[in-house]
Amino acid sequence: MDTALTESPPAREAMLAGSYIIEARGLVKRYGATTAVDGVDVSVRQNEIFGILGPNGAGKTTTLEMIEGLRDPDAGSIQLAGIDALANPIALKKSIGVQLQSTALFDYLTLAELIELFAALYGADTGPARVDRLIGMVSLEDKRNARVDQLSGGQKQRLSIALAMVNDPMVLFLDEPTTGLDPQARRNLWDVIRDLREGGTTIVLTSHYMEEAEELCDRVAVMDYGKIIACDTPLALVQSLGESATVRARIEGRLDSNRLERLRGATGSAVNDGQLTIQTVDVPGTLADLFALADEEGVRLDNLTTTSATLEDVFLSYTGRSLRE
């Protein structure tokens, strides 16, 4: 007998709820006539990388900064690691690390001095060994004594992550950490973020790059117009579309559309001017059946491609708009 199946749903809920390090409920923030965040629930599990994905103005920063204690919500509640964040902002700030979407840092200080200063502001250890460890964490060893204005964009982002880690936070919040970086620098930063997660930190980040959310995040909340419209693992989100991939090929000759529809996993097909398009939820099955069918009919397949659906398609299907207008 499978005991898991006999468990009642509420008990399962409770078990899962226990593993959430952040639970925000019904967050609302209004600015005049605009409702920047409109009843958002966020639940983040211990030690995951949680992404909030959405276009400009979706309300990502506002949501994040309410949880960080930087903006007061008009409604809602926030529990973080057992702390009532709204009632106890100081305890909250001691438990989290924050990188803001845009922060300049004090001029005229070196990296090491800035890290020492921020460590002191948290009452944390300011010793050189620890400063070096933080600098090493973001691979800025050779910039230890450089001033902030001598850093590149990617190096600045890494520095601000190091600054966010000075208090060994349980949760690290990163607001668009890779925006404006070139692909190489972005990948470097992903490695830094993954290492931090390996070190036991829970990470909440925002992004409007779907590749970033797909590659980096364990779970993603898709946000639009102040609301979370979907929240799951990137894979589950993509699969929820029911068309996880598209198979395309040029064909010489004719293929029976009824037989195309019956290919394993296929959910739809079309042939236009010799261009075959098949939506499928099972790429290998569909391809195997397609090859067999083409062989049988004596039809040649050229320029065969398969494209997986992406979070971009998820966003498109939920909102009818593209993520990047």
Ligand X SMILES: Nc1ncnc2c1ncn2[C@@H]1O[C@H](COP(=O)(O)OP(=O)(O)OP(=O)(O)O)[C@@H](O)[C@H]1O
Query: Which 191-250 positions form the footprint of ligand X (CB under 6 A)?
Result: 208
Q: Of the two residues 75 and 120, which places its CB atom closer to another protein in the complex?
A: 120
Cα–Cα dist 288/257, whole Å: 17
Least Å distance, CB 104 to ligand X, is: 17
Least Å distance, CB 44 to ligand X, is: 17
Least Å distance, CB 118 to another protein, is: 7
Contact indicator for 183, 195 with CB cutoff of 8 Å: no
Q: Which stretch binds ligand X (CB under 6 A): 28-36, 246-254, 276-284, 290-298?
A: 28-36
Binding of another protein by 104 (CB under 8 A): yes
Cα–Cα dist 57/42, whole Å: 18
Q: How many CB atoms lie within 10 A of CB 29?
A: 22
Q: Which stretch binds another protein (CB under 8 A): 63-71, 189-197, 259-267, 280-288?
A: 63-71
- Report which residue type is found at 133: R
Cα–Cα dist 157/169, whole Å: 17
Q: Which stretch binds ligand X (CB under 6 A): 31-39, 156-164, 264-272, 276-284?
A: 31-39
Binding of another protein by 94 (CB under 8 A): yes
Binding of Mg ion by 178 (CB under 5 A): no
Pairing of strands 34-45, 300-308: unpaired
Contact indicator for 189, 157 with CB cutoff of 8 Å: yes
Contacting residue, 36, 42, 134, 203, with ligand X by CB under 6 A = 36
Site string for ligand X, 86-125 (x = CB under 6 A): ---------------x------------------------
Least Å distance, CB 16 to ligand X, is: 27
Q: How many CB atoms lie within 10 A of CB 264?
A: 15
Q: Which stretch binds another protein (CB under 8 A): 37-45, 80-88, 108-116, 215-223?
A: 108-116
Nearest CA to 256 out of 209, 296, 287, 214 is that of 296
Q: Containing H/E element for 12? A: helix 9-18
Question: Rounded to 10 degrees, what is the CA torsion of 231, 236, 238, 241?
Answer: -90
Q: Token match 């930190």: residue?
A: 201
Q: Is the dihedral of CA 97, 103, 108, 111 positive or negative?
A: positive
Least Å distance, CB 175 to ligand X, is: 7
- DSSP letters spanning 169-227: -SEEEEESTTTT--HHHHHHHHHHHHHHHHTT-EEEEEES-HHHHHHH-SEEEEEETTE
Q: Which stretch binds another protein (CB under 8 A): 86-94, 202-210, 219-227, 236-244?
A: 86-94
Picked from ligand X, Mg ion, another protein, none, the partner binding residue 151 (CB below 5 to 8 A depending on kind) is: none
What backbone torsions phi and psi does residue 125 show, to the nearest 5 degrees? Answer: -65, 130
Picked from another protein, ligand X, Mg ion, none, the partner binding residue 213 (CB below 5 to 8 A depending on kind) is: none
Least Å distance, CB 127 to another protein, is: 12
Positions in the binding site for ligand X (CB under 6 A):
31, 34, 36, 54, 56-62, 101, 208
Which residues are at the interface with another protein (CB under 8 A)? 68-70, 90, 93-94, 98, 100, 102-109, 113, 116-118, 120-123, 126
